[in-house]
Structure 1
Amino acid sequence: MQQKKNSFSGSIGFVLAAAGSAVGVGNIWRFPYLCAKDGGGLFLIIYLVLVLTFGFVLLTTDIAIGRKTKKNALNAYAAISSKWKFLGYLTFLVPALIMTYYSVIGGWIVKYLTAYVVSGTEAPAQDGYFTSFITSTAAPIVFMFIFLALTAWVVYLGVEKGIEKYSRILMPILLILIIGIAIFSLTLSYETEDGTVRTGLQGLSIYLIPNVEGLTVKRFLEILLDAMSQLFFSLSVSMGIMITYGSYVKDDVNLSKSINQIEIFDTGVAFLSGLMIIPAVFVFLGTDGMTSGPSLTFLSLPKVFASMGAAGRFVGIAFFLMLGFAALTSCVSVMETLVANCMELFHKSRKKMCIIIGTYSLVTSVIICLGYNVFYFDLKLPNGSVGQLLDLADYISNSFLMPFISLLTSILIGWVIGPKWITDEVTKNGESFKREKLYGILMRYVVPVVMLVLFFMSTGLWDIIF
């Protein structure tokens, strides 16, 4: 099989590549603003519990399915049971949708990195800078193309020479940059006009200490849903990526140990990202800056960097360079999943499928870019939010398909073929699987119920039914 010709050289290569997929814009952009919005330390505790339970179950399932079947997501479920072949096609739709807009966000990052290199901190911090950029006709497409070309090049080089090689380089650099900026954020201080001094350590306390003031059952469920959606986005589960990467893992790799390392790496980067961003935003923008939501990266942080004086330019360059690395490793994993699946489906070479998938990504990404100008419209989504084309694609993939796929997978593994099918793969070389019993209980009884509730709430069906 062609798949067998492509494999990671060993455990370290697999862990770094999988961590590269997991560590992306979701960790550095999405995690800090959700944490700031949802009570700081309270969100942290809930997220950590979910990582150790649901994250561990979903990650183990995807990787084990990939290695055991030696197939990509499109055909892996058919190899388990012919009646469940449709689940592979549903899974394939997720990266196909994500690929339409991930390069667009990557282009935004490249634009900001370029701005800090060329013009410094003043321009990106101006009101309306981000809006004027994304609503322009040509500029977003140009920067999107640059990011997409880099992604396609890495995927074209293949698994060991491309994905693994660049993950080995980019992930350590990414980690060093995050740690460096996080330490710098804690040393910051700023005196306001009324003489009040805000420090990075004060921002740290806001980040780490749970805020339960006014907490209700409904509010707790909302935080739980935010944390669960972040889990999907962060660990790259239920979208075929980890199944694809699992199919490249050699049989002698200790899966249980590798999965633990991926969990630690991904959660550690998310934690450090919050440590890097939240104290800095608090120092220069106060508690108002903490509630800026998804705009935290492109609207609030440039103001933070501008407030740092001469050092702000270098911090801005380091931050967006780091964010670009994270986005690139994640986008590579999304494109690799599409290429690998299509290679298996159409029996074409990697070169041909890279060209085809690259063309598809380019055309759809251009349409998403034009969604902020030529194709602009306001669309009310089932979850109550209002968005454009990018928001629609993100909603279908993350709020609709991913919890639905996780629900169906938990039924297949938990009740149709049994959790032992997965645990046997994890322990096939005699390795210990300390969370084996926990895996079986969660997969059979807990994951299906929680995923059903999540699916209902994220699609608006919860309010209709209840």
Structure 2
Amino acid sequence: MKQKNSFSGQIGFVFAAAGSAVGVGNLWRFPYLAAKDGGGLFLIIYLALVLTVGFVLLTTDIAIGRKTGKSAIYAYESMRKKWKFLGVITFLVPVLIMTYYAVIGGWILRYIVIYLTSSGKQAVADDCFTAFISSPSSVWYGLIFMLLTALIVYNGVEEGIERVSKFIMPVLLIMVIGIAIFSLTLKTTLDDGTVRTGLQGLKVYMKPDLTGITVGRFLQITLDAMSQLFFSLSVSMGIMITYGSYVKKDVDLNKAVSQIEIMDTGVAFLAGVMIIPAVFVFSGLDGMSAGPGLMFVSLPKVFYSMGTVGRVIGILFFVLAGFAALTSCISVLESITANCMELFHTERKKTTRVLSVIYLIATAVIALGYSIFYVEVALPNGSTGQLLDIMDYISNSFMMPFISLLSAILIGWIMKPSWIAKEMELNGEKFKRKKLYNVMMRYIMPVIMVILFLQSTGVLNLIMK
């Protein structure tokens, strides 16, 4: 069944796709990894991967979507009937991600409320974040965020998703640039008279640190950058296939892919400029903890250290994070909605209503995973986690590298790269990176994805020991 909805044009598609790609992971995970993995060294590796692996994965998903006019399940089936299973696996990734993304959105919403109603002092209390997520009342914030997401998807592609993305993305870009510039102007004098400045923090961020570099260390940094790529570009989860199915045939996909790459990577880089200098000035690099610790613990302390202006920056930052979470959450729910519309031959509004009920329940369960439904499970990658961490591990660390591996085999050796190239050259446009795409898809992608899959399941660590 051909999708009846579509984006109005290239700008609408690029903003929506970039909105999906620019998520919370760009704002906390990218800066953390850059600080942990040698600053400029990580940036160089990540940029190289974006221009090669990221380009291949993004091009493949979008071209598959537009060429077939279908979402993941039926897109793969229309290519090869025996490969419908890959579409089903791909569909399951957003199904799992949607169970917890609104929960994270709810956390951000809570901090927006804190900064709007107080000086931000509450946010720097030692147990603020932990006390909040471990309280059953935290569930309401996640439910509100989920309802907002569902309302936008309910209104369709052009009137809902595209309209919101066209507003949010320019605002988000302006806010990121503005806070990044402000971050570079910061400075503080320590008790011993040493002065720390934002520009010193920028040097820490940008300068490649080769201290203690080994082959194993280089490989780990590369794997970190690769895993960030999945977070960042929304690839191998069916979202870009769905969005690609809404793209009109007169849109130049070559330009669109490049614009999405630039916008997404630019925001990730600027997020580092925004966060690392500020954290460096007020906390050194000790505050660069992973995950929620950076966004909900370290940064509020930085904002509070700024005095009155810190409250304003805190409001701006969490509104910015809320926008990023919302556009990503919308794309995840839209992917699920589009697949269900095709599977059950139902119209959008009815499908969205049913999915809203399902995911309001799922959001509540995951949000309560830190209180009423608390569990602690050992994961194959060596970490332990609650319900949210389990869903995140299965979808991002296990399924996405596996999907990319199978996709490389299907496109590289069964359909052949020329199948994608024809769609990229549909209107006479030149597929400038065709040779790169062919080599990457057939020979390099399968190897990279096998390594990443082994690493995410803990097998690679055992081998290296």
Does TM, scored on the shorter chain, surpass 0.5?
yes
Aligned to 2:115: 116
1:67 matched residue in structure 2: 66
Counterpart among 203, 206, 211 of residue 204 in structure 2 = 206
Q: CA deviation at 1:2?
A: 5.3
Q: Which has the higher mean CA deviation after the structures are superposed, 357-366 or 448-457?
A: 357-366
Q: How do 1:435-454 residues align onto structure 2 when only pairs under 5 Å count?
A: 435-454=433-452
- The answer to whether the Cα contact below 8 Å between 2:86 and 2:403 also exists between their aligned partners in 1 is yes
Pick the aligned partner of 2:213 from 212, 215, 218. 215
Shift of 1:109: 0.2
Match of 1:54 in 2: 53
Look up the SS of the partner of 1:194 in the other structure: coil
Match of 1:39 in 2: 38
TM-superposed CA distance for 1:292, in Å, is 5.3
Residue 166 of structure 1 deviates from its aligned partner by: 0.7
Question: Alpha-carbon deviation of 1:167?
Answer: 0.5
For 1:187, the aligned partner's letter is: T
The answer for the alignment partner of 1:80 in structure 2 is 79
**What is the alpha-carbon distance in structure 2 between the residues aligned to residue 293 and residue 152 of structure 1?**
26
Give the conservation status (yes or no) of the 8 Å contact 2:233–2:264. Answer: yes
Shift >4 Å, 4+ stretches: 291-294
Q: In the alignment, what sits opposite 2:257? A: 259
- Cα 1:372–1:443 change in 2 (3 A) is same
The residue type equivalent to 1:92 in the other structure is: F
Query: Which residue does the alignment assign to 2:147?
Result: 149
Instruction: Kindly report which structure 2 residues correspond to 1:124-143, keeping only aligned pairs within 5 A, or say none.
Output: 124-138=123-137, 140-143=138-141
- For residues 405-444 of structure 1, the aligned pairs below 5 Å read 405-444=403-442
For 1:190, what is the secondary structure of its paired residue?
A: strand
Higher mean displacement: 219-228 or 410-419:
219-228
SS in 2 for 1:321: helix
Amino acid corresponding to residue 421 of structure 2 in structure 1: T
Which whole-Å CA distance do the structure 1 matches of 2:28 and 2:97 have between them?
A: 16
In structure 1, the partner of 2:288 is: 290
Question: Are 1:331 and 2:358 matched, yes or no?
Answer: no
Letter in 2 for 1:203: G
2:283 aligns to what SS in structure 1?
A: helix
Inter-partner Cα distance in structure 2 for 1:300 and 1:464? 33
SS at match of 1:289: coil
Check the 8 A contact 1:42/1:211 in 2, yes or no: yes
User: Matches of 2:220 and 2:133 in 1, distance apart?
Assistant: 30
Contact map agreement 2:28 2:291 (CA 8 A) in 1? no
Distance 1:92 1:44 in 2: 31
CA distance in 2, matches of 1:288, 1:234: 25
SS in structure 1 at match of 2:428: coil
- Please give the alpha-carbon distance, in whole angstroms, between the structure 2 residues aligned to 1:311 and 1:74: 49
CA distance, structure 2, for counterparts of residue 463 and residue 313 of structure 1: 43
- Please give the per-residue CA displacement for 1:136-192, whole angstroms capped at 9, x wherever unaligned: 012x21100111111011100100001011110000000000001000000000111
Q: Which runs of 5+ in 2 are unaligned?
A: none
CA contact (8 A) 1:31 1:270 kept: yes
CA distance in 2 between partners of 1:353 and 1:141 (Å): 24
What displacement does 1:264 show? 0.3
- Residue pair 1:292, 1:300 contacting (<8 A) in 2 also: no
Find the counterpart in structure 2 of residue 269 from structure 1. Answer: 267
Structure 2 contact 7–247 (Cα < 8 Å) conserved:
yes
Distance 2:33 2:107 in 1: 20
- Distance in 2 (CA, whole Å) between partners of 1:290 and 1:53 is 28
**2: CA distance, partners of 1:345 / 1:109:** 34
Amino acid of the residue matched to residue 160 of structure 2? G
Aligned partner of residue 198 in structure 1, secondary structure: strand
Cα separation, partners in 2 of 1:330 and 1:292, compared to 1, 3 Å? closer
Separation of aligned partners in 2, 1:79 and 1:45 = 38
Matched, 1:168 2:193: no
Counterpart-to-counterpart distance in 2, 1:350 and 1:235? 26
Structure 2: distance between partners of 1:182 and 1:219? 29
Q: What aligned pairs does 1:356-367 form with structure 2 within 5 A after superposition? A: 356-367=354-365
Shift of 1:291: 4.5
CA contact (8 A) 2:412 2:438 kept: yes
Q: Deviations over 1:316-367 (max 9, x none)?
A: 0000001100100000000000001000100111111111111111111111
Is the Cα–Cα contact under 8 Å of residues 37 and 293 in structure 1 kept in the other structure?
Answer: no
Q: Counterparts of 2:291 and 2:139 in 1: how far apart (Å)?
A: 25
- Percent sequence identity over matched residues? 65
> Does 2:219 match 1:235?
no
Aligned pair partner of 2:244 in 243, 246, 249: 246
Count, aligned residues: 464
**What TM-score comes out, normalization by structure 2 length?**
0.98
Task: Give a deviation string over 1:90-132, Cα, whole Å, max 9, x none.
Answer: 0001000000000000000000000000012100011110000
**After alignment, is 26-35 or 172-181 more displaced?**
26-35
Contact 2:97 2:395 in 1 (8 A): yes
- Counterparts of 2:75 and 2:397, CA distance in 1: 23
CA RMSD of aligned residues (A): 1.0
Structure 1 position 199, deviation (Å): 0.3
Q: Distance in 1 between matches of 2:82 and 2:333?
A: 27
Q: Which runs of 5+ in 1 are unaligned?
A: none
Q: CA deviation at 1:463?
A: 3.4
